[in-house]
């Protein structure tokens, strides 16, 4: 596959609808800009309505050919996830693209509305539930894709299946983060396996390399302060970091299960990568899937009704 893919390779997306989570800033805003810039109608799934409206106004003012619309979504609340999924299933006839982009990195210990450790709850379980709720729309749309944002940090991740929420061990912000990013890849591989080769929907993943966003700034730890000080000097732009996900979402040659990242791991043009060995453990993917269904109360139907 070409290592010279650029935004000029994005096909015309006119008539297609995409939902991008965490779309009001950083990678999500840049992904939305590229999709709308090539004609897609983009739904901005955001927790903060004020920031979402500001982002929508910014994109609209740029005169992009694709319209953008705001949709309320708080991934730390399964009720909010359910509300959006029900609304879209009721209003939309199809959904071409779901980009599970929103995430938290190395935040202080906290719990979601449903009692999950915050990083696993938002980065994985919230997106698991959202994907489950939107699969009827995706499966009704030939050529649809689910693209989930992981991280090169997944390579340091380990799944603590006996203590996913760090209830019995000390909370380590980076350990929780890398676990959640490993979960993103295990989920993607298992979703694509369950969809099967003849499904109208494919599951793919991406990572942004080292990109300058506000991720990692939210916590109060020393490492958060270090990231805030050094990231602007040693990272590529959010626009560059968004391209692996955009390629996964739009490249006609992309295949189910593919994982895209920068050519030089931290930076560079988007290319197909190989996930870590732990991310390719199918038994772990099945175990995570079963636990995710149990924790969220969602039984995921991966075949058209």
pLDDT tens digits, one per residue of 162-190: 999 999 999 999 999 999 999 999 999 99
At 243-301, the pLDDT tens digits run 999 999 999 999 999 999 998 878 889 999 999 999 999 999 999 999 999 999 999 98
**pLDDT tens per residue, range 62-94:** 999 999 999 999 999 999 999 999 999 999 999
Three-class secondary structure assignment of the chain: CCCCCCHHHCCCCCCCEEEEECCCCHHHHHHHHHHHHCCCEEEEEECCHHHHHHHHHHHHHCCCCCCEEEEECCCCCHHHHHHHHHHHHHHCCCCCEEEECCCCCCCCCCECCCCCEHHHHHHHHHHHHHHHHHHHHHHCCCCEEEEEECCHHHHHCCCCCCCCCCCCCCCCHHHHHHHHHHHHHHHHHHHHHHHCCCCCEEEEEECCCCECCCCCCCCCCHHHHHHHHHHHHHCECHHHHHHHHHHHHHCCCCCCCCEEEECCCCCCCEEEECCCCHHHCHHHHHHHHHHHHHHHCCCCCCCCC
Give the CATH number, domain containing residue 144. 3.40.50.720
In a domain, 302, yes or no: no
Q: Which pLDDT value is given to residue 4?
A: 86
In a domain, 98, yes or no: yes
Note whether residue 164 is domain-resident. Answer: yes
CA distance 288 to 86: 25
| C-alpha to C-alpha distance for 284 and 111, rounded to whole angstroms | 24
**8 Å CB contact between 292 and 197:** no
Is 21 inside a domain boundary?
yes
For residue 226, is it within any domain?
Answer: yes
Non-local (6+) Cβ contacts of 89 within 8 A are 133, 134, 136, 137
Q: Is the separation of the CB atoms in 217 and 2 below 8 Å?
A: no
Cα separation, 271 vs 3, whole angstroms: 6
Instruction: Name the pLDDT band for 226 (thresholds 50, 70, 90).
Output: very low
Catalytic residues, which ones? 177
Burial of 89 (0-12, 13-18, 19+ CB in 10 A): middle
Residue 243 is assigned to a structural domain of this protein: yes
Q: Are the C-beta atoms of 101 and 35 separated by less than 8 Å?
A: no
Q: Name the DSSP letter for residue 236.
A: B
Task: Tell me how many domains the chain contains.
Answer: 1
Distance CA 53, CA 16 (A): 21
Can you give the pLDDT at residue 150?
Answer: 98
Q: Distance between alpha carbon 125 and the CA centroid of its chain, in Å?
A: 11
**The predicted structure's pLDDT at residue 43:** 98
Q: Is residue 115 part of a domain?
A: yes
What pTM did the predictor assign?
Answer: 0.92
- The Cα–Cα gap between 106 and 177 comes to 6
Q: What is the pLDDT of residues 136-169, one digit of tens each?
A: 999 999 999 999 999 999 999 999 999 999 999 9
Residue 304 lies inside a defined structural domain of this protein: no
Helix (H, G, I), strand (E, B) or coil at 202: strand
Q: Report the distance separating Cα 149 and Cα 101, nearest Å.
A: 5
**Would you say how long the chain is, in residues?**
305
Domain with 135, as residue range(s), is: 7-296
């Amino acid at each position: 596959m070409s290592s010279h893919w650029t935004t000029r390779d994005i096909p015309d997306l006119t008539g297609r609808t995409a939902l991008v989570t965490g779309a009001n800033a950083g990678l999500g805003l840049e992904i939305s800009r590229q999709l709308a810039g090539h004609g897609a109608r983009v739904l901005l799934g955001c927790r903060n309505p004020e920031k979402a409206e500001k982002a929508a106004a910014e994109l609209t003012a740029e005169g992009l050919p694709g319209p953008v619309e705001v949709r309320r979504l708080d991934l730390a609340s399964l009720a909010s996830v359910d509300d959006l999924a029900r609304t879209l299933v009721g209003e939309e006839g199809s959904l071409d693209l779901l980009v599970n982009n929103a995430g938290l990195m190395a935040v202080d210990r906290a719990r979601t509305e449903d009692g999950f450790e915050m990083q696993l709850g938002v980065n994985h379980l919230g997106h698991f539930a959202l994907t489950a709720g939107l699969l009827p729309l995706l499966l009704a749309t030939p050529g649809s894709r689910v693209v989930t944002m992981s991280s090169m940090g997944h390579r340091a991740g380990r799944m603590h299946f006996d203590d996913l929420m760090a209830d019995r061990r000390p909370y380590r912000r980076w350990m929780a983060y890398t676990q959640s990013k490993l979960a993103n890849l295990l989920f993607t591989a298992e979703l694509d396996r369950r969809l099967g080769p003849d499904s109208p929907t494919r599951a793919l993943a991406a990572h942004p390399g080292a990109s300058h966003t506000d991720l990692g700034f939210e916590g109060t730890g020393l490492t958060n302060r270090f990231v805030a000080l050094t990231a602007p000097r040693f990272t590529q732009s959010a626009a560059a970091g968004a391209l692996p996900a955009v390629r996964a979402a739009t490249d006609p040659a992309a295949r189910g299960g593919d994982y895209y990242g920068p050519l030089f791991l931290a930076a560079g043009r988007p290319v197909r990568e190989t996930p870590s060995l732990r991310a390719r453990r199918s038994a772990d993917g099945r175990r995570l899937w079963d636990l995710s269904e149990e924790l969220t109360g969602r039984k995921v139907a991966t075949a058209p009704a």
